[in-house]
Structure 1
């Protein structure tokens, strides 16, 4: 089960920073029936054994969570034997922000970040694997004049207000007055909230790797971005930038849809 104590520590740190209530969640599901050469497995007693093991592990995680959270933070715990993505999506109605780590290949043990970001109606902070603390001292706002990007800026205001530096940047092959006006309007909006931001127009084709390269050049420790996707029958197909951000693991990503 993918639920690391470092994620809890990041949640504790953020709860302290924003004087927030902290909700710890863990879930895992029993895999469905699988056909083998000997017939069907994972039925009856086998399913119950698997469920018992999951419940035992969830109890251990609850104890770990309760031991880590200090008395100064109000908190609660939730757990279930079901899809982690579905369970987290349900609990999102009681939260302002979802904090999670990287998704995994096992859908029965890990969150599907794509479905989560595009389906829960709450911002999702995906913490970097090598990031011990979510400092968010230099924040890059990946600006695109869309509903999703506007939503991301509004959702990220608490982080932007506490940052030492905020950079609002757009990548464009050609910079015209409308793009510059758009950037200036975002900076003016943030100024009304007491946030001083500078703007950057990065020349080039819109590309996730170029965005990450620019983020590294300004030593950003968080990227704020709208999540862009198009529905298909069973999953979400992402635009290139969002896909790159989801797959990137070296930086904190704040995604809104």
Structure 2
């Protein structure tokens, strides 16, 4: 099942992808106006049962939103692939490196990434995003996948000079439109085992990152276990799981995004997230 958030006819809604169209599930289930509320109600099984009766909207008549437009929390994992850790000359860590994003930094598939006038160092980071379906504290690794609703493609766009002003990443990771997330949530049952799946990033058609999800240093169960120990995870929370090696800042010469570029994040069985870059 592929689930999207969208704007149509002046209202926000969510739906189920069906070929080149979307079933308007927010119309069929008026008590669940958003994907986040659907997850809070553990409503994915019920949604599948009524999908056939939902109005069908052509994809070109809707505007996609970030797959979860209003997550309460967005956790981002740094240095979670060996190649990326090595290219940044960082030591091996025994626990995940974590920073946070604000929900208003998210943007949708197809929407522009706005290049800030204050930087020449706008970088791409292809990532797998995990969408929490069932909340909890102190979740064990063995039970972690029971708390996952599904996955989405993400791009943890980074303003590198602002990221490096101090040891804190926040200023470089929260510019408007710097968190593309989408195009949809693919439910966990459709994806299966993560490790064999390929994750890649292309800039103007050139592959700049290429890895497998099995290369993650801290896998999804470990991340859920760790995060849920210090805070309660809630339905709709999002975890950006980290980026592979090949980021623009560590290339020779550096390769940063600029207005007019097109950046793509593709993950097998999950989707293709595409965004143009425009001047802010």
Q: TM-score range with shorter-chain normalisation?
A: under 0.3
After TM superposition, the score normalised by the length of structure 1 is: 0.23
Which one has the bigger helix percentage? Answer: 1
Structure number, greater radius of gyration: 1
After TM superposition, the score normalised by the length of structure 2 is: 0.22
Higher RCO structure (Cα 8 Å, ≥6 apart): 2
Which one has the bigger strand percentage? Answer: 2
